[in-house]
């Protein structure tokens, strides 16, 4: 969610790819970009890479140039998404769980006051477990505990799981935990299923600044919820924005209440871009 990023996202369109407008290509440093977020206090777009990469977050400008590279004093077990709160603190979702056997699921909080530091940045640790997982890993038909998506809203962090169950890849479970340091048991809220194949995996999420729209990202679509009840976002109206370009899309955030920013990994000769998508 970004309050300072301005209308250039509405008017840029140096190249169009279906309904996605390419803003810029991303530097090689971000070939495995997995999370994208904007914050209150800067025009930079924050990004991170997933597991196997350095424990760093990057602030880029609209031309795709890295303007900040922050070293985080934590391990990148499997970083998957970024979020921020109303004052500009950044949250790193270290909850990628491909094999459904992790017992160290964590969200790392980076204080806004540290975003200008040149030295390694200490973090607050928000750890959690799922209330309905008893085996690590569970049986194959119950592997619903991977996660690549979350956002901050009203002092809570909302998690959207990624299914590893064949024939049910589009299922996502919604949980919430307090956005406070400590160990928490996530609270289950509801479930949603988009479709069945790998293109339906939920890979990122965000909520608009006005709190009226929630977006879930998959490789083949952006799914937008509105008119929901309280924080049960799946009770709302649903609108799909199908992509003509299939790629490894893993990052989404709102640039404003009606515009999304989307990133994809560089893979198989495609992707490695920052896109915008205007919502109707």
Average pLDDT of 140-161? 98
Sheet with 15-17: list strands edge to edge.
15-17, 20-25, 273-278, 259-264, 249-256
The confidence band for 278, taking pLDDT boundaries of 50, 70 and 90, is very high
Among 11-15, 102-106, 125-129, the minimum mean pLDDT is found in 11-15
Write out the DSSP string of 73-109.
Answer: SS--SS--EEEE-TT--EEEEE---TTS--S--EEEE
User: pLDDT at position 4, please?
Assistant: 39
Kindly tell me if the per-residue pLDDT of 125 is higher than 60: yes
Kindly tell me if the per-residue pLDDT of 5 is higher than 70: no
Kindly tell me if the per-residue pLDDT of 14 is higher than 70: no
Longest dimension (CA), the chain: 50
Residue 264: its H or E element = strand 259-264
Kindly tell me if the per-residue pLDDT of 195 is higher than 90: no
Distance of CA 273 to the CA centre of its chain: 16
Kindly tell me if the per-residue pLDDT of 7 is higher than 50: no
User: pLDDT at position 18, please?
Assistant: 56
Q: Which residue has the higher pLDDT, 268 or 39?
A: 39
Kindly tell me if the per-residue pLDDT of 168 is higher than 50: yes
Distance CA 185, CA 131 (A): 6
Average pLDDT of 20-28? 96
Distance CA 51, CA 276 (A): 25
Write out the DSSP string of 192-245.
Answer: EE--SSGGG---EEEE-TTS-EEEEEETTEEEEEES-BTTBGGGSEEEEEE-SS
The confidence band for 15, taking pLDDT boundaries of 50, 70 and 90, is very low
Q: Which tens digit of pLDDT belongs to each residue from 210-263? A: 999 999 999 999 999 999 999 999 999 999 999 998 899 999 999 999 999 999
Q: 58 is written with which tokens?
A: 């990057």
Domain ranges across the chain? 8-278
User: pLDDT at position 8, please?
Assistant: 35
Q: Are 170 and 193 in contact (CB under 8 A)?
A: yes
The topology (CATH level 3) of 8-278 is Neuraminidase (2.120.10)
* Secondary structure letter of residue 9 according to DSSP: H
User: pLDDT at position 80, please?
Assistant: 98
User: pLDDT at position 106, please?
Assistant: 98
Q: 72 is written with which tokens?
A: 């985080």
Q: How far is CA 260 from CA 83, 143, 191, in A?
A: 14, 30, 23
Distance CA 12, CA 37 (A): 19
In this prediction the pTM is 0.93
Q: 172 is written with which tokens?
A: 């996502």
Average pLDDT of 134-158? 98
Q: Are 155 and 134 in contact (CB under 8 A)?
A: no
Q: Which residue has the higher pLDDT, 18 or 110?
A: 110
Kindly tell me if the per-residue pLDDT of 41 is higher than 90: no
- Nearest CA to 148 out of 136, 137, 159, 135 is that of 159
């Amino acid at each position: 969610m970004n309050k300072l990023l301005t209308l250039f996202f509405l008017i840029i369109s140096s190249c169009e790819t279906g309904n996605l407008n390419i803003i810029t290509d991303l530097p090689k440093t971000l070939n495995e970009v997995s999370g994208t977020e904007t914050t209150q206090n800067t025009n930079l777009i924050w990004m991170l890479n997933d597991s196997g990469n350095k424990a760093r977050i990057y602030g880029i400008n609209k031309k795709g140039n890295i303007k900040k590279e922050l070293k985080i004093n934590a391990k990148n077990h499997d970083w998957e998404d970024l979020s921020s709160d109303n004052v500009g603190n950044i949250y790193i979702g270290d909850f990628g769980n491909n094999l459904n056997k992790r017992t160290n699921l964590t969200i790392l909080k980076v204080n806004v006051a540290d975003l200008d530091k040149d030295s390694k940045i200490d973090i607050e640790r928000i750890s959690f477990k799922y209330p309905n997982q008893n085996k690590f890993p569970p049986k194959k038909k119950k592997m619903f505990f991977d996660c690549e998506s979350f956002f901050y809203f009203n002092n809570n962090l909302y998690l959207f799981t990624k299914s590893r169950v064949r024939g049910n890849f589009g299922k996502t479970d919604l949980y919430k935990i307090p956005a406070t340091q400590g160990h928490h048991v996530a609270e289950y809220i509801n479930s949603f299923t988009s479709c069945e194949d790998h293109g339906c995996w939920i890979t990122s999420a965000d909520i608009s600044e006005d709190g009226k729209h929630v977006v879930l990202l998959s490789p083949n679509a952006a799914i937008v919820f509105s008119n929901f009840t309280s924080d049960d976002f799946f009770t709302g109206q649903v609108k799909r924005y199908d992509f003509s370009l299939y790629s490894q899309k893993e990052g989404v955030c709102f640039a404003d209440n009606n515009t999304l920013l989307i990133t994809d990994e560089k893979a198989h000769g495609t992707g490695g871009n920052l896109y915008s998508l205007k919502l109707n």
